Structure 1
Amino acid sequence: MVVESEGYLDESSLSAAVMPQEGVRVRLDLPRTDDLADIVFLANNRKIASHLATMPHPFSLEDARRLVQRSQLVSAGHASFAIRMNATGRFIGQATWSALEPGGPVHVGYWLGEPFWGQGFATEALQRLVDHAFGQGEMRELLADCRVTNAASRRVLVKCGFQYRDQSMARSLGAGGSVPVERYGLERSVWLALKRWGRAA
């Protein structure tokens, strides 16, 4: 379970979003009302909802509208993006970083529509999300949870430099209760080292 979050929104600090850098195959930008049909088609999937914290199942058109509206609100502790194919601009998922409370730890979360699983899109999107979060904020560490049964999300987190911390239980609306999760963290110093190694290579 990768735990996404609606996040804490400090409306006094709302500002125009600074967009993440574009990836090779995907880009992150704001979801739009013309994405609603794709959002409902992809998000209305129990396999996705059961791996997330707050996604309902069934997922309705009204849920999609709320997703778009929340993504328009940007604060110092929250940013939420559509994951899009560069070639077509199609919405294929969502990526978010958010502090659950003012000044609290910053969590990253993401989901991808099932037709786009297993092709490396989630890894590329999370790399762009992490760069954006560390580039926009002063946080020392990013946190992420994944369900212990979600081997694909575990691989994505590890590929992006996240390190295992511990196991715990977390609530999942889509799963209908608490589920066991693994907790991961990525420190700013590790991220900077990975960026330097990438440039040297």
Structure 2
Amino acid sequence: MVVESDGLLDESCRGAAPLPQEAVRVRLDLPRTDDLADIVYLANNHRIAANLATMPHPFGLADAKMLVAKAEAARGNSAVFAIRLTVTGRFIGVARYAELEAGSPVHVGYWLGEAFWGQGLATEALHSLVDHAFTYGDMRELTGACRVTNPGSRRVLIKSGFQYRDQSMIHSLGAGGNVPIERFNLERAVWSSLKTWGGRR
């Protein structure tokens, strides 16, 4: 996920940058300390952790506090956002983008609490996240990935304009070993064309 930083907020920090545009049913903003109980409740789920690379399981209060700290410290081509229901403001998941390694393409990631799966909320959140990344970042492309056993996440990526690239293996903390994944990418030029086409509709 996002590299730790002890620096203070500045103009390049996501906390100082405009937040993503609100979607129909969800909005993205910074996770807060008053979200900690909800973060732990939703994230402490093996079915979620097993589909991600770096989420620990079990997921406790210290992990939730680290998530909030990472969101506050994110800079440059990285951001960590809480996904909230627009109507109630309830925390339901996380959406983020960051370089996995220095110099690597910027990678998107997301998760929702299990009670919110299958409703199209992750797709709305990823659309908002992608728009924010390309609007305020300088990356030429975004990458994404999902386990080959996770068709729901594959649909989210494809509906957000990502194109299939290849298959690979990654180590998943939650799964307890290496798992096969499908990798996708979205170029800035493709995103710009999709936004223009959508506006003409």
Do Structure 1 and Structure 2 share a fold, with TM-score over 0.5? Answer: yes
Q: How does 1:24-173 map to 2 (within 5 A)?
A: 24-173=24-173
Question: Is the 8 Å Cα contact of residues 9 and 77 (structure 1) preserved in structure 2?
Answer: no
Distance 1:147-1:98 versus aligned 2 partners, 3 A rule: same
Cα distance in 2 for partners of 1:137, 1:151 equals 29
Provide, for residues 113-155 of structure 1, a one-character-per-residue CA deviation record: whole Å limited to 9, x for no partner. Answer: 0000000100000000000000011111100110000000000
1:107 alignment partner, SS class: strand
Provide, for residues 86-124 of structure 1, a one-character-per-residue CA deviation record: whole Å limited to 9, x for no partner. Answer: 100000000000012344310000000000000010000
Of stretches 62-71 and 118-127 in structure 1, the one that deviates more from structure 2 is 62-71
RMSD (Å), alpha carbons: 1.5
Distance 1:165-1:72 versus aligned 2 partners, 3 A rule: same
2:80 alignment partner, SS class: strand
Shift in Å, 1:62 = 1.1
Aligned residues: 197
Provide, for residues 24-75 of structure 1, a one-character-per-residue CA deviation record: whole Å limited to 9, x for no partner. Answer: 1100000001101110110000000000011011111111111111111121
Alignment match of 2:2 (pick from 2, 6, 12): 6
Q: Which runs of 5+ in 1 are unaligned?
A: none
2:31 alignment partner, SS class: coil
Q: Return the TM-score normalized by structure 2.
A: 0.94
Q: Which amino acid aligns with 2:198?
A: G
Shift in Å, 1:9 = 5.3
Question: Is the 8 Å Cα contact of residues 77 and 139 (structure 2) preserved in structure 1?
Answer: no
- Kindly, what percent of the aligned residue pairs are identical? 64
Q: Which runs of 5+ in 2 are unaligned?
A: none
Question: Is the 8 Å Cα contact of residues 148 and 181 (structure 1) preserved in structure 2?
Answer: yes
2:168 alignment partner, SS class: strand
The reply on whether 1:18 has 2:18 as its aligned counterpart is: yes
| Higher RCO structure (Cα 8 Å, ≥6 apart) | 1
Q: Which amino acid aligns with 1:194?
A: L
Cα distance in 2 for partners of 1:179, 1:11 equals 35
Q: Which amino acid aligns with 1:146?
A: C
Of stretches 9-18 and 60-69 in structure 1, the one that deviates more from structure 2 is 9-18
